[in-house]
Chain A
């Protein structure tokens, strides 16, 4: 389904690759698709409308990155908005200074309260606590037996008695203190949000228990009504969080997103099966992907970005070998290095490079890279492609534009030219270069035929670590994979002052 969504976006956005940003018409078409996808995932209509507004704003304002295709970029925006709503925080459970820590579960009929109660008891037990389960569902036939059976499996005591649920809860609290249990988990009967009597009853239970945590147990399959339900329970009980159940099904779980947005309470636990082990802390990013329709989109987008970077680097490397490497390529290499962290650190991570660079490290600081970027930015596209056209007056203009000295500009251009020449020689060296550092495969394996000049078409470059000598590979991983550091030639290609 996610794939369908991206595919649909791609069809819609096929023709806009060249443009800088999405136009209003394109955005509206995309928004309609997003609307359907979210509604099909049971996101509440009101929340969908809010989301659409936010996505519209961002999609119109954001520059197309070139890293992702427009379809992917929109999906990323949507995903970020969804994850934003779902919240990044996992809910910390702390314990009352004066035990027991009291947990109250409430929700609609059949949402999974009794099972979740037992699961939580198991969870607390696994965290070194001594829970007591209180069975305050006296309505549903065999509810207490159900709880006792489940509790028996994890060896946790259950308190319940005939009468009314409020007194069961009150007596349960006394019992927990008497037995010295430090956690009390109270299961309650399922109730409809619009059943005033039963909603008042659960409020009375909360009043006697004064719970530290009140959880709404919500079925992931719930549709548009989830918002009404959550608001009604929140109004009566001041919810702390939601336990989302039945995620082992294939419902998208948009209801949870709606509840998060409307009630503003996090989803603390996710339940993924009937067995008592099937309870985990909640991962907002996973649910966001799921709402958009399966698959781990985060990974997918990362992959797209990686692939793009790889393609860019490969193309740059190919141009390098052909001697057509440009200052734009050079700039891109600098940017990639920056993304990895402080330059010095990155350099130190490159085997064999660390030592040699020590003296030069000071020159490689962020500040210098800033200046180099500034210089290149002040060049025209023509100048970046072919620095040979840069004469005296151009140098003066570039220096003025970047706030640097003319000599710095000359130095950069000269060193870049040298580097390019050298690279071309290397490229032309063909199989003679075999076995040298830059031609080794990722795992240090030898790969034949590296360093060939490729006249046209996509270029396969065998070595991720090749890229720019002196600046390491275009990724730390590639750089670390360099087979034989001894033969790696860092060279003096980075312009030095």
Chain B
């Protein structure tokens, strides 16, 4: 097989399976196999896919559906049904409210802060960025550039400083200026590093000690993430009490299906999605759009 045909095959794999199902006028074993495969290719995971399809099977039996396209619609409806009616707002009930951004390395925490900051500033809020990533090379400069773009101020500590104290200082600073919102960056960390997870727990605790209150702890997940996403969500929740998810890089070819498992199993709602690297490329999560994208046919 040539590379080109392989490339074509892989890329269209998901779409091809769905097109196949859609074109069929009976619902047989192959239909279910192909639906399962489509879900797996979207990183939904075996266990979640099985659960979803079991429900759709029941409905297909009950409704007497025999058309492939209708089965896909039932599957979409099943997923949307699970995502609908969930509160996906970000809370600003404290003054100042503190939103803490956590996640593994390179998922888009800093970029998300820049864009979310931009959204809140545009909505008339006064926003402070806390440069809590004191570890990564040039992380503070990166956040500083985003603060400029977003129209936020940034509070930084020395390189290698204790992130808790940087975040605490930023909250005090915000309170003193009467700012509404503190967006606190943290260094990316893999959840297997015990000491780093403890450090994160401490940031979360210390942030509550001053003038403000942590109203959101947002776990940033990269849409390319596979089944490890669920493990990440569990571990970060344990350490820092995650209240919501941000799903980034959804503009790529990955579909981010793992969030279905995270939301389904841990009850952590997806709040925003990243759809590019620009200032405006962050949008509220919309279940309908997400599910459409999940089932989008190949190009």
Q: Do A and B come together as binding partners? A: yes
Residues of A within 8 A of B (CB): 36, 39-42, 44-46, 108-112, 139-143, 145-150, 192-194, 219, 221-229, 231-232, 234-235, 246, 248-252, 254-255, 262, 274
Cβ–Cβ contact A112 & B106, under 8 A: yes
Decide yes or no: A40 and B46 within 8 Å by CB, A149-B138, A223-B226 being known contacts. Answer: yes
A228's nearest neighbour on chain B, judged by CB, is B253
B11, chain A: closest CB distance, angstroms? 5
Chain B residues proximal to chain A, CB less than 8 Å: 3-4, 6-7, 9-11, 13, 37, 40-43, 45-46, 104-108, 135-139, 141-142, 144-146, 190-193, 222, 224-229, 231, 249, 251-255, 258, 277
Give the distance in Å from the alpha carbon of A307 to the alpha carbon of B105 in the complex.
43
Known: A109-B106, A225-B43. 11 other contacts (CB 8 A): A39-B227, A40-B45, A45-B13, A141-B145, A142-B144, A146-B136, A192-B252, A192-B253, A225-B255, A226-B226, A249-B228
- Cβ–Cβ contact B42 & A249, under 8 A: no
Q: Decide: B105 and A112 in contact? CB cutoff 8 A.
A: yes
A110's contact among B3, B41, B222, by CB below 8 Å, is which? Answer: B222
Given known pairs A250-B231, A274-B135, the reply for A228 and B11 (CB within 8 Å) is yes
Q: How far is the CA of A46 from the CA of B38 in the complex (A)?
A: 11
Number of cross-chain contacts by CB at 8 Å? 154
User: Chain A's nearest CB lies how many Å from the CB of B265?
Assistant: 14
The one of B42, B192, B252, B258 in contact with A248, judged by C-beta atoms closer than 8 angstroms, is B192
Query: With a CB–CB cut-off of 8 A, which chain B residues contact A193?
Result: 252-253
Distance of A368 from chain B, by nearest CB (Å): 52
Determine whether the beta carbon of B277 is less than 8 Å from that of A223: no
Are B251's CB and A192's CB within 8 A?
yes
A223–B139 Cα distance when bound, in Å, is 27
B115 CB to nearest A CB, Å: 12
Q: Which residue of B lies closest to A247 (CB)?
A: B190
What distance in Å separates the Cβ of B259 from its nearest Cβ neighbour in chain A?
12
Min CB distance B12 to A, Å, is 10
Contact present for B142 and A228 (CB under 8 Å): no
Contact among B4, B6, B145, B254 with A225 in the assembled complex (CB-CB below 8 Å): B254
Q: How far is the CB of A51 from chain B (nearest CB, A)?
A: 15
Taking a contact as CB atoms under 8 Å apart, the answer to whether A141 and B222 are in contact is: no
Task: Give the distance to chain A from B154, nearest Cβ to Cβ, in Å.
Answer: 12
Interface centre among A150, A222, A232 (most CB of B within 10 A): A222
* Chain B nearest Cβ from A317, distance in angstroms: 46
Cβ of B107: which chain A residues have Cβ within 8 Å of it?
A: 110
Closest to A250 in B: B192
CB pair A145 B138 closer than 8 Å: yes
Chain A residues lying within 8 Å of B10, measured Cβ to Cβ, are 44, 46, 227-228, 231, 262
Can you give 16 contacting A-B residue pairs, CB < 8 Å?
A36-B46, A39-B227, A109-B108, A141-B142, A192-B253, A193-B253, A224-B40, A225-B43, A229-B253, A232-B7, A246-B104, A246-B105, A248-B193, A252-B228, A255-B226, A262-B10
**Min C-beta distance of B121 to chain A, whole Å:** 17
Q: What A residues does B253 contact at CB under 8 A?
A: 192-194, 225, 228-229
A223 touches which one: B4, B46, B193, B227 (CB < 8 A)? B227
Q: Which residues of A sit under 8 angstroms from B106, Cβ to Cβ?
A: 109-112, 219, 246
A221 adjacent to B192 (CB under 8 Å): no
Taken together as a complex, chains A and B put the C-alpha atoms of A396 and B253 apart, in Å, by 74
Q: Measured between C-beta atoms, what is the minimum distance from B27 to chain A in Å?
A: 21
A227 CB, min distance to chain B CBs, angstroms: 5
Residues from chain A with Cβ under 8 Å of B228 in the complex? 42, 221, 249-252
In the complex, are the beta carbons of A194 and B224 less than 8 A apart?
Answer: no
A251–B226 touching, CB < 8 Å: yes
CB < 8 Å neighbour of A109 from B142, B225, B249: B249
Q: Which residues of A contact B43 (CB under 8 A)?
A: 223-225
Chain B residues lying within 8 Å of A226, measured Cβ to Cβ, are: 224, 226
Cβ contacts under 8 Å, B251 to chain A: 192
Given A192-B252, A221-B104, A225-B252, CB of A45 within 8 Å of CB of B41:
yes
Q: Give chain A nearest CB distance to B5 CB in angstroms.
A: 11
Q: What residues of A have a CB within 8 angstroms of the CB of B40 in the complex?
A: 39, 45, 224
A42 & B227 in contact (Cβ 8 Å cutoff):
yes
Instruction: Name the residue among B7, B46, B228 with the largest chain A CB count within 10 angstroms.
Output: B228
A197 to chain B, nearest CB (A): 13
B233 to chain A, nearest CB (A): 12
Given the known A-B contacts A192-B253, A193-B252, are A223 and B136 also in contact in the complex, defined by CB atoms under 8 Å? no
**How many angstroms between the C-alpha atoms of A249 and B108 in the bound complex?**
17
Contacts of A221 on B, CB cut-off 8 Å?
104, 222, 224-226, 228-229
B residues less than 8 Å from A41 (CB atoms): 227
Q: Given A109-B277, A221-B225, A223-B226, A194–B252 Cβ distance below 8 Å?
A: yes
B-chain residues with CB within 8 Å of residue A109 when the two chains form the complex: 106, 108, 249, 277
Contact B145 A234 (CB under 8 A): no
Query: In whole angstroms, how far apart are the Cα atoms of A108 and B249 in the complex?
Result: 10
Checking A39, A149, A219 against B46 with a beta-carbon cut-off of 8 angstroms, the contacting residue is A39
CB B67 to nearest CB in A, in angstroms, measures: 25
B231 and A46 contacting across the interface, CB-CB below 8 Å: no
Looking at B46, B104, B254, the one whose CB has the most chain A CB atoms below 10 A away is B254
Which of B37, B46, B106, B193 has the most A CB atoms < 10 Å from its CB?
Answer: B106
The interface residues of chain A lying within 8 Å CB-to-CB of B144 are 142
Q: What is the CA–CA distance of A227 and B3 in the complex, to the nearest angstrom?
A: 12
* Residue numbers in A under 8 Å from B135 (CB-CB): 274
Report B-chain residues with C-beta under 8 Å of the C-beta of A147: 137
Residue contact B104 to A249, C-beta cutoff 8 Å:
yes
Alpha-carbon separation in the docked complex, A255 to B225 (Å)? 10
Residues of chain B contacted by A234 (CB below 8 angstroms): 3
Report if A254-B226 is in contact (Cβ < 8 Å); known contacts: A246-B190, A248-B192. yes
Task: Give the docked Cα–Cα distance between A232 and B109 (Å).
Answer: 26
User: What residues on A are CB-neighbors of B42 within 8 Å?
Assistant: 224
- Determine the residue in chain A with the shortest Cβ distance to B222: A110
Q: Which 5 A-B pairs have the closest CB atoms?
A: A223-B226, A110-B106, A42-B226, A149-B137, A225-B254
Q: What residue in chain B is nearest A113 (Cβ atoms)?
A: B106
**Chain A residues near B138 (CB-CB < 8 A):** 142-143, 145-146, 148-149
A146 to B231, CA, bound (A): 29
**A231 lies within 8 A of B7 (CB):** yes
If the complex has contacts A109-B249, A249-B104, are A262 and B145 also in contact, measured as CB distance less than 8 A?
Answer: no
Kindly list chain A residues whose C-beta atoms are within 8 Å of the C-beta of B137: 145-147, 149-150
